Structure 1
């Protein structure tokens, strides 16, 4: 086994790991590996928001326009398309794009055609909402975990490599132990979210500033290859419990430190749903996320259903699982919303009471 933290990101550890040096995980896991020359990546969420069947065609066209622009010079190395319905009943279609080079993303974003489209007055008058949520973590500020090494997801696709089997997983606290930054940093949050332009409301262009050590997680599942008992167990036992936990974070997460949660289903290039889903959530801190994972009834139920699942199958799974977790500095975040409702994304909880 090897450490989740690559050699070039290791430093003298001043904060103890949650397990002993001879820990053996109950099942295998892998991390994506990037070359040492990769110092910062970009995870971009480009969203289109609409409400009602009458607007779905227009929203799909807007999403596909965004995806076509990824083919321009300096575009991302990988992107996904996904959809969810938020707590206010709005459809959110999102193109999620990944760059292994932050400078290339900056050049792509500054492409005249892209910049002009985003800033055009028409974006406020089409009956749609748009948003960009951009996380640009430095190499020490994020970690990944995959249940299989042969088909990576998300940022893993553009990182270029994969580790051997990891030691730091399969126990509470392993997420923190995999983060290079956490070797010597408590990752305590400081500052607060702030509206730095506009007012969170439809008809506005709004920019939100994040704060130091805001945490972000994308955690996904793919059941395409499951069959028989495994497929039945996933769809009838595990998936409903997962949905309940995701809905709790979406609807009631703010008091426990979850700023926003979307439970999304992947779409193919024609907009048809795939047998893949993921939760995307933003948290005040990694510690808030850990508390929910370790002790809240909704996540305890998710964990319990997963353990029943793997034990029934003797740990021989065709279900694919993964996550990517970032703990972000303030300068690694950018959130912009055009004509979106007031509880969208990182605006959630910032609008004045009606």
Structure 2
């Protein structure tokens, strides 16, 4: 049994884990392992937003960012997903990952000006949301070690079975910084206008989670069980966070379906949300009725199927320092992403 925290990031604890040293989890889970030379990762979300049917301008924007990704210093991995937000707008989000900050920096300025520079296109919004955490500030978890998603695609390997999972508090215990730091939020988000663009300056220890489901390997009976018994409960919880999450510390939530290179829906989805703090995310997970219901449906599903279950689950959770964040919006409605966390009046840059 391995620790989820890699040996080169382990340190003397001033904050204790939630379980004793001899804790044995009831089922296996795995984490992504980067090479020790990797000190920082970048997670960059490029979104296009529109109402109604996609236009030629939407297709052009999506092709534009894909071409940028394929260019010099582009990401090592990216994927694309879409969802309909609380205002009825479709958002198509291309998520890109780097493990070399210098390469990202060389790439980003030109991509940013192309994506959110200039004036808003009629009826089309664009946004960029970036975290660039030190590797001590994030964790991953996978139900299976043989198919990486998200930032884990950049990892050198998957771990063996890890100890810190299947209990409330495991998410925090897998983040290396949690050994010595409570990772409490400091400050409040504010908006700054830069021409037609609005930047959101967030606060220290903002939390991001991407939590995914892959049912592409399931056979007919299991697929029906997931889609009939689990997915509707998951969607209900995701919709609650999307519509009413601000009151419990969730600034924004997207429940997205992954699409393929041609824009067709796949049998993969993920929730992606911005939280005031890791503690707020933990409180929702542990005690809010919407997540208790999700957890109950998932446990019933997994207990029914046991080891034969082919549903794959994963997540990545980041607690970012203030200087590791970038949020920018052009022509988007005022509940888009982190815009929903700030007053409608904004300062000038």
Query: TM-score, normalised on structure 2?
Result: 0.96
Instruction: Give 1:63-102 correspondences, 5 Å limit.
Output: 63-102=62-101
Name stretches of at least 5 consecutive residues in structure 1 with no aligned partner.
none
> SS of the residue aligned with 2:252?
strand
User: Which 4+ runs in 1 deviate beyond 3 A?
Assistant: none
What are the within-5 Å matches in structure 2 for residues 253-272 of structure 1? 253-272=245-264
User: What SS does the aligned partner of 1:230 have?
Assistant: helix
Deviation of 1:24 after TM superposition, in Å, equals: 1.1
Shift of 1:119: 5.4
Alpha-carbon displacement from aligned partner over 1:182-203 (angstroms, at most 9, x marks no partner): 001111111011112259xxxx
Q: Contact between 2:116 and 2:330, CA under 8 Å: does it hold in 1?
A: no
CA distance in 2 between counterparts of 1:161 and 1:56 reads 41
- Corresponding residue SS for 2:70: coil
Cα deviation 1:83-129 (Å, max 9, x = unaligned): 00000001000100000111111101134xx35423542x4134310
2:327 maps to 335
Aligned to 2:301: 309
- Corresponding residue number in structure 2 for 1:118: 115
| Structure 2 residue aligned with 1:4 | 4
- For residue 291 of structure 1, report the CA deviation from its aligned partner: 0.3
The 8 Å contact of residues 125 and 331 in structure 2, kept in 1 or not, is answered as yes
Distance in structure 2 (CA, Å) of the matches to 1:240 and 1:38: 39
Q: Whole-Å Cα distance in 1 between the matches of residues 117 and 206 of structure 2?
A: 30
Aligned mate of 1:279, from 265, 271, 276: 271
Offset from partner CA, 1:276-330 (integer Å, 9 cap, x none): 0000001000000000000000000000001100110024321010000000100
Structure 2 residue aligned with 1:196, among 179, 192, 205?
Answer: 192
Contact 1:245/1:299 (8 A) holds in 2:
yes
Q: Is the 8 A contact 1:259 1:281 kept in 2?
A: yes
Deviations 1:26-61 (A, max 9, x none): 1111100111111111000000000111x4443233
For residues 145-179 of structure 1, the C-alpha deviation after alignment (integer angstroms, 9 at most, x for no partner) is: 01111110000001221111100001111000100
* 1:119 to 1:279, Cα distance in 2 relative to 1, 3 A: closer
How far apart, in 2, do the equivalents of 1:164 and 1:194 lie?
A: 42
1:33 and 2:36 are equivalent in the alignment = no
Q: Is the 8 A contact 1:342 1:351 kept in 2?
A: no
Structure 1 residue 164 corresponds to structure 2 residue 163: no
Does the 8 Å contact 2:116/2:329 carry over to 1? no
Runs of 5+ consecutive residues of structure 2 not aligned to the other structure = none
Residues in 2 aligned to 1:115 and 1:351: alpha-carbon distance in whole angstroms: 24
C-alpha displacement of 1:20 = 1.2
Give 2:146's match in structure 1, choosing from 140, 145, 150. 150
Partner of 1:109: 108
For the aligned residue pairs, the C-alpha RMSD in angstroms reads 1.4
Q: CA distance change for structure 1 residues 46 and 214 in 2, over 3 Å: closer, same or farther?
A: same
Decide whether the 8 Å contact of 1:63 with 1:94 is kept in 2.
Answer: no
TM norm structure 1: 0.95
CA distance in 1, matches of 2:270, 2:158: 21
**d(CA) in 2 for partners of 1:137, 1:265:** 25
**Is the CA contact (8 Å cut-off) linking 2:116 and 2:197 kept in structure 1?**
no
